[in-house]
Structure 1
Amino acid sequence: MLEAKEFDLTTTLVKEMMIDAEKVAHVQNKNPLEHALLVLTKTGYNAVPVLDFHGKFEGIISKSNILEAMFGVEKIEVEKLEENTVGDCMDHEVPTLLVHDTMEQALHELIDYNFVCVVDEDQQMQGIVTRRQLLKQYRNEFYRSQNKA
């Protein structure tokens, strides 16, 4: 993590603040929805990245996506958890960041998302940047500036 005195949105790179991919909960596109729901429930997250078998980023799966897939015309169809895969109902159109993007660019995306995935030029997942990280960094900067006064 960066020292508060070093934090500048325009010069701090995404790679300096991201959580590395190996520490990020994720699911694969071919996993059944049941597996994704278990991962989301056990981790307490509302959404996680979706990767292919080779670690390429493909989108995001959320609890909302899964619940929507279970809604039938007249009832909730729990059997769809086994029948459908993550790839059937995930969000494909989500923003991503590159490791060399600035935190200013991340800020714009984090307004609408709790986290944004960081990828390389080949769409290989490198990590995530979270809204929580950014807010904590600003909080630290605020208190540091208050202590100077």
Structure 2
Amino acid sequence: MGKKLETYNLYEKGIEDLIISADKVAHVQLNNPLEHAMLILIKSGYSSIPVLDSEFKLQGLISQPLILDSILGIERIEFEKLGQYVVKDVMNREIPFINENEGFFKALKLAIDNPFLCVVDDAHTFKGILTRRTLLKFVNRYLHETSKESVGPS
């Protein structure tokens, strides 16, 4: 049979092979100054990054718009506030995440409205991220493989 992909395999597919591991993901800690978070965001080029506590547990997400909103004054951007606030003061605590043992279709559904999902284990320890791009690349490859099989050998 070779490398045949069958339709039911997609329903049984887990996400473990699609996760970008935590050690490759830019992140900040709860008590980092906003200035540090802004530097990480700018240097990484990401729109938002995970916020972790000292035990590597996922706590939220921080983004440039959240940081900028926190330092906007009435008449000017108050850059001096970047050193006065820490990440936990302005981060978003309501974030999309998925357990590393969840299935592919749950991830796909959550990714519709989110560019990436944070992945955690049962103890809520941060394991990495799952990007919409990775999910779509997998679906694309899967569809191409199954369409080749339905046409048969050339």
TM-score w.r.t. the length of structure 1 is 0.89
Cα offsets for 1:43-62 (capped at 9, x unmatched): 11001100011101101001
The one-letter amino acid of 2:57's match is K
| Residue 26 (structure 2) aligns with | 25
SS in 2 for 1:79: helix
**Residue 132 (structure 2) aligns with:** 131
CA offsets per residue over residues 60-105 of structure 1, 9 Å max, x none?
0011111111211221111111111111111001121111100111
Cα gap change, 1:59 to 1:5, in 2 (>3 Å): same
The 4+ residue runs of structure 1 with deviation greater than 2 A are 3-10, 141-149
**CA RMSD in angstroms, aligned pairs only:** 1.9
Does the residue aligned with 1:59 lie in a helix, a strand or coil?
strand
Structure 1 partner of 2:72: 71
- Residue 84 of structure 2 is matched in structure 1 by 83
Q: Is the 1:9–1:102 Cα contact (8 Å) retained in structure 2?
A: no
For the residue of structure 1 that corresponds to 2:32, the secondary structure is: coil
| Distance (whole Å) between structure 1 residues aligned to residue 6 and residue 40 of structure 2 | 35
- Is 77-86 or 8-17 further displaced after alignment? 8-17
Q: CA deviation at 1:9?
A: 4.2
CA contact (8 A) 2:34 2:86 kept: yes
Gaps of 5+ in 2: none
Please tell me whether the aligned partners of residues 6 and 146 of structure 2 are also in contact (alpha carbons under 8 angstroms): no
In the alignment, does 2:43 pair up with 1:42? yes
Pick closer, same or farther for the CA change 1:20–1:38 going to 2, 3 Å: same
Deviation, 1:146, is 4.5
Q: Percent identity at matched positions? A: 41
Q: Give the equivalent residue in structure 1 for 2:110.
A: 109
Report the number of matched residues: 147
What is the CA-CA distance between 1:129 and the residue it aligns to? 0.7
